Amino acid sequence: MIIYFADRKMQILGQASTNLNDGIFIVDDSKTEYVSNGVVIFEATVCYGDTAVKDMRKLCTAGNYLLRKHNAENEFYTIIDREFNEENREVTLYCEDAGMDLLNTIAEKYEASQAYTAVGYIEEWIRGTGFEIGVNEISNLKRKLKWDGESTVAERIASIATQFDNAEVSYSFEVEGMAVKRLLINLWKKRGKDAKVQLRLGRDVKNIRDKESVQTLATALRVTGGTAEGSSEPITLEGYSYDDGDIYIDGKLLKSRSAVAKWGSTWSNGKHIERTYSFETTSQSELCAHAVTELKKLSSPTKTYEVDIVTMPDNLSIGDIVYIVSDKGELYISSRLLELKTSVSGKKIEAKLGDFVEEDSGIDDQVRSLADKLANINTSPGSTASTLSLAVESSKGVVFTDTLVDTTLTAHVYKDGRELTASEVANVGKVVWYKNGVKAHEGTSYRVQNVEAARVSAQLEV
């Protein structure tokens, strides 16, 4: 990894690398990406020799730019904080990709006179910053929004995205050589893709930390919307009718029957756990739809998984859906990468997962019948059932993350509890495999692939 230091005019002043052991070199680094606000944080500790003291103070001036190059990554940051440690001859840098122009500029309170697109709001506050709109997947949406307080421009952009159906923000840069050509703000309906990547504990994943919290749990929401023209109060759900059998409107509250039954205490006499929720719209139907979605999310504990990744697939990025498998515990989770922290110098990758679905009850459906069949292997009529038995081992366990089964089955033959060698098995008979009732293979190993489900059995035949 190489980082280049540049002044406010984007003139390159110097560089540091993880591959050097003298001069100016990087001894520690971390890059943290967040889905929540789109900002990427880069931190580094850079060491220097006696002859580079004056140069380092010039290179690492707070407000200067930093370009990071690693493999195919070309990234652009602003140095927000720097701290020199003269005794150790090192400087610690804290950088963000949103830059001073978005982090240090104030967006004042604001009330729109009509409904605007997300870009219409964002352009109100990014004039003169150098940023422009890149990807825009929510161009068809309009909202009439209001902010009663001040915030940074970066915070205001995140707020805008949230109020446009929980859209997500990212920042990107077009870099040519040592020159930054464009600074881009991207608006996504939802970042990431289904990466079709399986991360297996003990192979790709060193550790999984399972966290659960009821800190934000609610069984009812007190809902408010926007303020209609000519009114002084925001709209509520009062007077609107909604009841899907579980979630229903009771006055200004949106309540869940199943949630209060599960989470209401024995002495609360049916009292709900209430939280507030607001969404900027003057339509009760739209307000209700968004509130129902929110209550469904809040009526269960918040669960996250923190994962220490040994090797990161090249095609994986923040927001992607991955599959975590622990064969020993039969844990299977499809989940989004909400936070990703990587260190080149430390050779570490940590991920925080959320928006997950536990699928341990369904992952075996493709092969459960296969496993059940193999658990009760038939012996041929000519063999001695009381002394001969078969056990079958699957090369990839019974946990599959793809839609198609792909595993190698190996038959182990036992006589009176002792496993027979290949030659001993040949003296007794042969292992015959049947798939869906049809003879498919002979031999102790059989590969099952490219099927969603199959009835497979093995027999020891004379």
65 domain residue, yes or no = yes
Q: How confident is the model at residue 360 (pLDDT cuts 50, 70, 90)?
A: very low
Of 97, 114, 132, which one is at a domain's C-terminal end?
Answer: 97
Q: Are 81 and 70 in contact (CB under 8 A)?
A: no
The torsion region of residue 34 among left (phi > 0), alpha (psi -120 to 50) and beta comes to beta
Q: Which of 122-126, 205-209, 382-386, 410-414 has the lowest mean pLDDT?
A: 382-386
pLDDT at 369 over 50: no
From residue 248, give the alpha-carbon distance in Å to each of 278, 298, 300.
17, 15, 17
Residues in the chain: 462
Residue 208 and residue 220 share a domain: no
State the residue range of the domain holding 371.
365-461
62 domain residue, yes or no = yes
174 domain residue, yes or no = no
Residue 59 and residue 12 share a domain: yes
445 domain residue, yes or no = yes
Residue 312 and residue 205 share a domain: yes
pTM of the model: 0.60
175 domain residue, yes or no = no
Residue 93 and residue 40 share a domain: yes
Average pLDDT, the chain: 81
pLDDT at 356: 65
Residue 307 and residue 200 share a domain: yes
Residue 48 and residue 6 share a domain: yes
Residue 384 and residue 456 share a domain: yes
Of 281, 298, 315, which one is at a domain's C-terminal end?
Answer: 298
Higher pLDDT, 71 or 115: 115
Alpha helices (runs of H) in 301-411, residue ranges in sequence order: 365-375
184 domain residue, yes or no = no
Domain with residue 324: its CATH number is: 2.30.300.10
173 domain residue, yes or no = no
Question: Facing residues of 255 across strands?
Answer: 220, 248
pLDDT at 331: 59
Q: How confident is the model at residue 327 (pLDDT cuts 50, 70, 90)?
A: low
Residue 49 and residue 18 share a domain: yes
Burial grade of 356 (CB within 10 A; 0-12, 13-18, 19 or more) = middle
77 domain residue, yes or no = yes
> What is the tens place of the pLDDT at every residue in 426-461?
887 888 888 877 888 888 888 887 666 667 778 887
Number of domains composing the chain: 5
Residue 250 and residue 133 share a domain: no
pLDDT at 413 over 90: no
Q: Are 221 and 295 in contact (CB under 8 A)?
A: yes
> What is the tens place of the pLDDT at every residue in 23-64?
788 989 999 998 878 889 999 999 887 767 678 889 999 999
Of 64, 97, 130, which one is at a domain's C-terminal end?
Answer: 97
Residue 250 and residue 280 share a domain: yes
Distance CA 96, CA 338 (A): 18
Distance CA 277, CA 295 (A): 9
> What is the tens place of the pLDDT at every residue in 231-277?
888 999 999 999 999 999 999 999 999 999 999 877 777 789 999 99
Residue 157 and residue 35 share a domain: no
Residue 326 and residue 203 share a domain: yes
